[in-house]
Amino acid sequence: MADLSTPNAQPNKLHDPTPALNTVQTTLDKFLAAAHVEAVYGPPITQGENVVIPAAEVLSIAGFGVGLGGGSERAAGAENAGSSGGGGGGGGGGRVLSRPVAAIIMSPGGVRVEPIVDVTKIALATFTTLGFMVTMLNRMTSRRRRLELDNS
């Protein structure tokens, strides 16, 4: 039988966990960066005599999981294990959401905070609210009619 052991063998690059760990570390660093003040306020922007600092709300969500497993095959009656193997894997994901909230404006007249209104979001919420109310009204009316019909 040929000897398969190679004393001067280089480590298998496929099993090197460093790139995966680096990716996890980078992702976690990016996730935790959302907890700093700098994530919410942008750098000051000079426009003529005014200086504007944008402010936004940041929501960062992340999750990950890992799994490991292994086993060995033992021949019947044999004292030593035949072959063994193992493996592992992991995965994760995340999302960062950001929405402008206000702009801090420094003008020669002083400092003021100007809110940024998301009209699209408000319009969508209004239509959803109206839809919910109309649906509830319809359900209540139809139920009442059904009760009236049953009674008559």
Q: Which residues of the shown chain bind other proteins in the complex (CB under 8 A)?
A: 31-32, 34-41, 44, 51, 53, 55-65, 92, 94, 99, 101-102, 104, 106, 111-113, 115-118, 121-122, 125-126, 129, 132-133, 136-137, 140, 144, 147
CB of 26 to other proteins, least distance (A): 16
- Residue 140 and residue 146: Cα distance in Å, rounded? 10
Q: Name which of 2 and 37 has its Cβ closer to other proteins.
A: 37
CA 21 to chain centroid: 19
Q: Name which of 16 and 118 has its Cβ closer to other proteins.
A: 118
Q: Name which of 81 and 134 has its Cβ closer to other proteins.
A: 134
Residue 82, SS3 per DSSP: coil
- Residue 137 and residue 115: Cα distance in Å, rounded? 35
Give the N- to C-terminal CA distance of the chain in Å, as an integer.
Answer: 96
